Structure formats: structure tokens, C-alpha cells
Amino acid sequence: MATGKEDKAKGTANKAAGKVKEAAGKATGSTKTEVKGKAQQAKGELQKGKGDAKESQKKQR
């Protein structure tokens, strides 16, 4: 199971990769790639939130 910091790092990486993918989709006119980029960014946000929650829970103990 990943730690909070690992989840936050993965989330940040997914958000960055998603932004690149979205921009590439816009530049090439590929709606499919653009949508995949937006989905990857959403996944990154969820991972980052999961990491934040884990760290918050750890601090409360």
C-alpha cells in the first residue's frame, strides 16, 4: 500500500502528464487524446486527494 507522500507524488505526475496529453490533443485536433488528458488529470487529482487524506489521518494518530 502506498504512503500518502507516494500517492501525492503519483497524483502530481498524472496531472502533469494529463496536461501534456490534453495540449497535444488540442494541437493535433485529436479530441480523443484531449479527453484522455483531462481524464488523467482527474485521476491525478483523486490520487493527490487520497495522499492528503492519508497524511492527515496519520497526523491525527
pLDDT at position 26: 98
Looking up cell 486527494 gives 49
Confidence of residue 33 (pLDDT cuts 50, 70, 90): very high
Looking up cell 497524483 gives 11
So where are the chain's domains? Answer: 4-60
pLDDT at position 32: 98
Of 38, 35, 47, nearest to 18 (Cα)?
38
Looking up cell 485521476 gives 43
Looking up cell 501525492 gives 8
Give the mean model confidence (pLDDT) for residues 3-10: 95
| Cβ contacts of 59 within 8 Å, gap of 6 or more | none
pTM value is 0.88
